[in-house]
Structure 1
Amino acid sequence: MKSIWPKYRRDLQNTAQVPPTTLTQTQTPQSVTVPLSNKAKLLLIILIALASMLTYKRAGA
């Protein structure tokens, strides 16, 4: 898990850098906003799962 975590962090940083420009340029077209929302949902689900697992392990230990 520890080796996988930095990779997701890097992906988060990359996605965090991209949206501001893409959102300002493409707010109206749905074809562009839908894939972004799907990717965001997947990232959020993965992050929530990882965060809950980490906090659960800390609470258990």
Structure 2
Amino acid sequence: MDRERVIGGKRPGPQYQQRTGNRENITVLVPICADGSSLPPGVILKGKGYQVKWSQDNPANAS
């Protein structure tokens, strides 16, 4: 049995899921150095393949 965590304010009554389960999560890394400079953001996608068109409209030139 899969367990699910719901994070929300403490209030009477049940907590409800905000979205349906048909979405996937991505991780975005925004590296900022101690001197205030930054590196281009990185995106981690779940999957076995990568499609070039995913990065074609890339205003921040992230890799």
TM-score by length of 2: 0.22
TM-score by length of 1: 0.23
Q: Judging by fraction of residues, say which structure has more helix.
A: 1
Largest Rg, 1 or 2: 2
Q: Judging by fraction of residues, say which structure has more strand.
A: 2
Q: Which structure's relative contact order is higher, taking Cα pairs within 8 Å and 6+ residues apart?
A: 2
